[in-house]
Amino acid sequence: MTFNTDAVVLKIVKTGESDRLITFLTKDRGILKAFAKAADRPKNKLHMSSNLFCLGNFTFYEGSGALRVTECDLEETFYSLRNDIKKLALAQYFNELIIEAAPAESPAEDFLRLYLNTVYFLSENKKDIKVLKPLFELRLISIAGYMPNLVACAGCGEFETETMYFDFYDGELYCENCKKTGAYPYSLEVISAMRHIVFSPLEKLFTLKASPDALESLNEATEKYIKIKLQKSFKTLDFYNSIKD
Residues 174-203 that bind Zn ion (CB under 5 A): 175, 178
Q: Which stretch binds Zn ion (CB under 5 A): 92-100, 103-111, 171-179, 217-225?
A: 171-179
Q: Which stretch binds Zn ion (CB under 5 A): 46-54, 117-125, 140-148, 152-160?
A: 152-160
Q: Give the 3-state secondary structure of the chain.
A: CEEEEEEEEEEEEEECCCEEEEEEEECCCEEEEEEECCCCCCCCCCCCCCCCCCEEEEEEECCCCCCEEEEEEEEECCHHHHHCHHHHHHHHHHHHHHHHHCCECCCCHHHHHHHHHHHHHHHCCCCCHHHHHHHHHHHHHHHHHHCCECCCCCCCCCCCCCEEEEECCCCEEECCCCCCCCCEEEEHHHHHHHHHHHHCCHHHHCCCCCCHHHHHHHHHHHHHHHHHHHCCCCHHHHHHHHCCC
Which of 57, 59, 50 lies closest to 18 in space, CA to CA? 50
- Shortest separation between residue 146's beta carbon and Zn ion, angstroms: 22
Q: Which is nearer to Zn ion, 97 or 175 (CB)?
A: 175
Q: Which stretch binds Zn ion (CB under 5 A): 94-102, 149-157, 183-191, 196-204?
A: 149-157
Q: Which stretch binds Zn ion (CB under 5 A): 36-44, 71-79, 169-177, 214-222?
A: 169-177
Residues 115-144 that bind Zn ion (CB under 5 A): none
Q: Which is nearer to Zn ion, 3 or 159 (CB)?
A: 159
Q: Which is nearer to Zn ion, 159 or 169 (CB)?
A: 159
User: Angle, nearest 10°, between helix axes 129-141 and 212-230?
Assistant: 30
- Shortest separation between residue 67's beta carbon and Zn ion, angstroms: 51
Binding Zn ion (rule: CB under 5 A), the pick from 155, 168, 187, 200 is: 155
188 burial level (CB within 10 Å; 0-12, 13-18, 19+)? middle
Count of chain residues binding Zn ion (CB under 5 A): 6
- Shortest separation between residue 225's beta carbon and Zn ion, angstroms: 21
Binding Zn ion (rule: CB under 5 A), the pick from 36, 46, 52, 153 is: 153
Q: Which stretch binds Zn ion (CB under 5 A): 64-72, 93-101, 154-162, 181-189?
A: 154-162
Q: Which is nearer to Zn ion, 76 or 158 (CB)?
A: 158
Determine the distance from the C-alpha atom of residue 172 to the mean position of all C-alpha atoms in its chain, rounded to a whole number.
22
- Shortest separation between residue 159's beta carbon and Zn ion, angstroms: 10
- Shortest separation between residue 152's beta carbon and Zn ion, angstroms: 8
Is residue 158 involved in binding Zn ion (CB under 5 A)? Answer: yes
Q: Do residues 156 and 175 lie in contact, with contact meaning Cβ atoms separated by under 8 Å?
A: yes
Q: Which residues bind Zn ion (CB under 5 A)?
A: 153, 155-156, 158, 175, 178
